[in-house]
Amino acid sequence: MFNKKTIFLGFASVLLAGTVVAAPVHNTNITEEEVRKAQEAWGAALIQISQDYSEGGLAKAKETAEAVLNQAYGYAQGPVLFKPTLATGETTFRITQEGALAYFVGDNPEFGDSGFALKGWREYSFENAAVYINGDLALTMGHVHLINAAGEKTTVDKTWGFKKDDQGDLRIVLHHSSLPYSK
Amino acid sequence: MFNKKTIFLGFASVLLAGTVVAAPVHNTNITEEEVRKAQEAWGAALIQISQDYSEGGLAKAKETAEAVLNQAYGYAQGPVLFKPTLATGETTFRITQEGALAYFVGDNPEFGDSGFALKGWREYSFENAAVYINGDLALTMGHVHLINAAGEKTTVDKTWGFKKDDQGDLRIVLHHSSLPYSK
Amino acid sequence: MFNKKTIFLGFASVLLAGTVVAAPVHNTNITEEEVRKAQEAWGAALIQISQDYSEGGLAKAKETAEAVLNQAYGYAQGPVLFKPTLATGETTFRITQEGALAYFVGDNPEFGDSGFALKGWREYSFENAAVYINGDLALTMGHVHLINAAGEKTTVDKTWGFKKDDQGDLRIVLHHSSLPYSK
Amino acid sequence: MFNKKTIFLGFASVLLAGTVVAAPVHNTNITEEEVRKAQEAWGAALIQISQDYSEGGLAKAKETAEAVLNQAYGYAQGPVLFKPTLATGETTFRITQEGALAYFVGDNPEFGDSGFALKGWREYSFENAAVYINGDLALTMGHVHLINAAGEKTTVDKTWGFKKDDQGDLRIVLHHSSLPYSK
């Protein structure tokens, strides 16, 4: 039935030798390590914008913020689900990059933000309460802690959604940040 | 080269007839319509718990809440990323079903909640600011509006993550709810 | 602006202590290790059916084959894309479990198979040429080598698609097997 | 408890008017329609290469084949699981684009192909036996029918895996093609 002779000649050496070369693997999935690095990078970027503002003023801060948004968020691919900590009313949700930039560095009368990234942030840490990984998308929820130049601490309740793109870079497609509820 | 005769005989009728039977399709993806229905179902469930509390007291409300959690949330599959509107401090995140049940109907000294679903909710609506669909997972962000028996309106900023399970049912795996920021 | 006092009291210990408890992670993705084990299990199952046939006859072989199909294939969830090595003509594709069972153990006049798993298989190995992992789905392509009781070797070109279900079990949703092309 | 006044003012108009603007939706999933078009495009591309060979010789055919591979296959992103119909032995699997190009237009001594796309194909059709859609990946299995300039028909058993990339284009990441088994 089978053409056994041909098959035998072709693959016997493999069976006898038992040495199997590792096959190339293409894996599009997101990993916990990548998520952790993306969370660290977000904090480092926020502090960088704050420092650039201190040293180079609004122009430099805005330039850095634009670079951060281009790299770390998914606005180029489509709408981003972004509810910033201090956004409210008609401009609660910053679906476009313009709205996100306004939130971080202000200077946009349409949104009226004072510029969250300009508030002198110096230290950053996060605590994940739980992580959910599904394919190339990861969701995290937990506390983010920020310390400003005056040593004051702020904590927010934070949810992120990270999407791994075709180049292997993680982009924020979801970001819900809120102040802790005060009883 | 090819065994053309066999092939010709086998498939000529198909080529001539031009009638192609539709192939069965197995599609695991989540749809906008399913997301919308899941969002509606969440509101209906909240109002149901409130009504059951009015009519049958805490025992009935708790029974309904457990059924809702079993069906609409993904706690049986693993941790759920849940930050309820009024949760704060050590119990901000309700990763387990016990914590979620405590939030909705109270009666659990470990969490100290008054029972969000017992607050006499009568009407519910939502406005999505944006929706992100990725495979069997959908993310929504927007406003949820609630009206209680006294006619008072409450709005929250709400993010949901819905995962479609193997049976085709949507389960909430992410839920971040927060009061609008007050300047 | 922020209620800094509350936040300070609530989370200072975390920031000072620097001890972060690992967050629970829910990860639905398939891993290379899981894929490798599923590939090994397929071969072990084929040999088991062959051995059961030798020792217990058709009834026992069929019982084992049914158990294998129930566990290793995704027929309970929907159509499976299965093109068995020796299937041809009108019954080339075995989209239903009935067709797959007929292929492995014969005894079904609708399909006319002699029973691929009854051919006295004793050894099994595989060589992946490449692996593609995308979320909860993994695709593999490579050679599968089989040796029967007479010591004759057969090699086939094999493609598999494995889907990880909600319980964490891998199920074959795609299986294309073909004899090497003979020039 | 809630700041009801602010909320009332902010959203009453929405609740009263009942007109909800459609939210922007970002959907990365692959659709049946996209799969069908990609299957049609594959056949059109094959015929185009054949026609370009007839009219412009090998150079033109090769140019077209390279363009097809660049656009329709995922080699730029990583290994592609490709088992062409007439490939066998050491070069059964064409994981790299070089191997795929060699298969379609020959002219590469390392692979020794005569050039499958140069065989004068004029008509193309396909019949899906089943389709499996999982996120941004779709799997199809069925028959592909080809007719050459002499009117001879060839049918192959064909499996494809299509991955939708970040730009919304479908790319073949899996392709297993085999001649029907001859009893």
CATH number, domain at D112? Answer: 3.10.450.50
Q: What is the pLDDT of residues B89-132, one digit of tens each?
A: 999 999 999 999 999 999 999 999 999 999 999 999 999 999 99
**Which of B160, A136, C70 minimizes the C-alpha distance to D134?**
A136
Q: CA C91, C97, C102 angle in degrees (round to 5)? A: 55
- Confidence band, pLDDT 50/70/90 cuts, at residue A21: low
CB contact under 8 A, C81 and D137: no
**With 80 as the cut, is the pLDDT of residue B19 above it?**
no
Indicate the number of domains in chain C.
1
For residues D122 and C28, give the distance between their C-alpha atoms in angstroms, rounded to a whole number: 45
Q: What is the pLDDT of residues B129-159, one digit of tens each?
A: 999 999 999 999 999 999 999 999 999 999 9
- Whether B23 maps to a domain, the answer reads no
- Whether D85 maps to a domain, the answer reads yes
**With 90 as the cut, is the pLDDT of residue C151 above it?**
yes
Q: What is the pLDDT of residues D86-139, one digit of tens each?
A: 999 999 999 999 999 999 999 999 999 999 999 999 999 999 999 999 999 999
Quick one: what percent of chain C has pLDDT higher than 70? 89
Of the two residues B2 and A142, the one the predictor is more confident about is A142
Q: What is the pLDDT of residues C23-64, one digit of tens each?
A: 999 999 999 999 999 999 999 999 999 999 999 999 999 999
Least Cα separation, residue D11 to chain B (angstroms) = 8
Touching chains, A (3+ CB pairs < 8 A): B, C, D
Q: What is the pLDDT of residues B25-84, one digit of tens each?
A: 999 999 999 999 999 999 999 999 999 999 999 999 999 999 999 999 999 999 999 999
Q: Which of C11, C23, C155 sits opposite A145 (nearest CB)?
A: C11
Quick one: what percent of chain C has pLDDT higher than 90? 87
> Each residue of B157-167: b (16+ CB within 10 Å) or e?
bbbbbbbbbee
pLDDT of residue B5: 30
What is the ipTM for the molecules in this complex?
0.89
Return all residues near B116 (Cβ < 8 A) that are at least 6 apart: B84, B85, B86, B103, B104
Rounded to the nearest integer, the mean pLDDT of chain C is 90
**With 60 as the cut, is the pLDDT of residue A20 above it?**
no
DSSP state of D150: T
* Helix segments in chain A, DSSP class H: 4-17, 32-72, 97-105
**Which of B34, B108, B110 minimizes the C-alpha distance to B72?**
B34
CB contact under 8 A, D26 and A89: no
Return all residues near D30 (Cβ < 8 A) that are at least 6 apart: B29, D133, D135, D136, D137, D138, D162, D163, D164, D170
Rounded to the nearest integer, the mean pLDDT of chain B is 90
Within 10 A of A85 (CB to CB), how many other CB atoms are there?
Answer: 21
- Comparing alpha-carbon positions, the chain B residue that sits nearest to C96 is B24
Q: Residue B46's domain spans which residues?
A: 29-178
- Whether A56 maps to a domain, the answer reads yes
Q: What is the pLDDT of residues A4-19, one digit of tens each?
A: 332 222 232 233 334 4
**With 50 as the cut, is the pLDDT of residue D173 above it?**
yes
Q: At what angle do helices A97-105 and A32-72 cross, to 10 degrees?
A: 90
Amino acid A181 reads Y
Asked if residue B94 lies in contact with residue B80, where contact means CB atoms within 8 angstroms, the answer is yes
Return all residues near B73 (Cβ < 8 A) that are at least 6 apart: B80, B82, B97, B100, B171, B172, B173, B175
Q: What is the pLDDT of residues A89-119, one digit of tens each?
A: 999 999 999 999 999 999 999 999 999 999 9
For residues A65 and A49, give the distance between their C-alpha atoms in angstroms, rounded to a whole number: 6
**Which residues of D fall below an 8 Å CB-CB distance to C?**
78-83, 85-89, 92-93, 95, 129-132, 134-137, 139-143, 157, 159, 161, 163, 173-174, 176, 178-183
CB contact under 8 A, C10 and B78: no
User: Would you give the distance in Å from CA A61 to the centre of its chain?
Assistant: 19
- Whether C16 maps to a domain, the answer reads no
- Comparing alpha-carbon positions, the chain B residue that sits nearest to C11 is B89
Q: What's chain C's Rg over C-alpha atoms?
A: 23
- Whether D23 maps to a domain, the answer reads no
**Which of D102, D94, A10 minimizes the C-alpha distance to C182?**
A10
Interface test with A, best of B32, B85, B92, B113 (most A CBs within 10 A): B92
Chain pair A-C, CB pairs under 8 angstroms = 129
- Whether B70 maps to a domain, the answer reads yes
Return all residues near A177 (Cβ < 8 A) that are at least 6 apart: A83, A84, A85, A144, A156, A157, A158, A159
Q: Which of C25, C135, C155 sits opposite A131 (nearest CB)?
A: C25
Tokens of D47: 């015929």
- Whether A38 maps to a domain, the answer reads yes
DSSP state of C80: -
- Whether D166 maps to a domain, the answer reads yes
Asked if residue D168 lies in contact with residue D144, where contact means CB atoms within 8 angstroms, the answer is no
> Each residue of A30-42: b (16+ CB within 10 Å) or e?
bebebbeebbeeb
Return all residues near D140 (Cβ < 8 A) that are at least 6 apart: B23, C81, D35, D39, D128, D130, D131, D132, D158, D159, D160, D162
Least Cα separation, residue C89 to chain B (angstroms) = 6
Asked if residue D141 lies in contact with residue D46, where contact means CB atoms within 8 angstroms, the answer is no
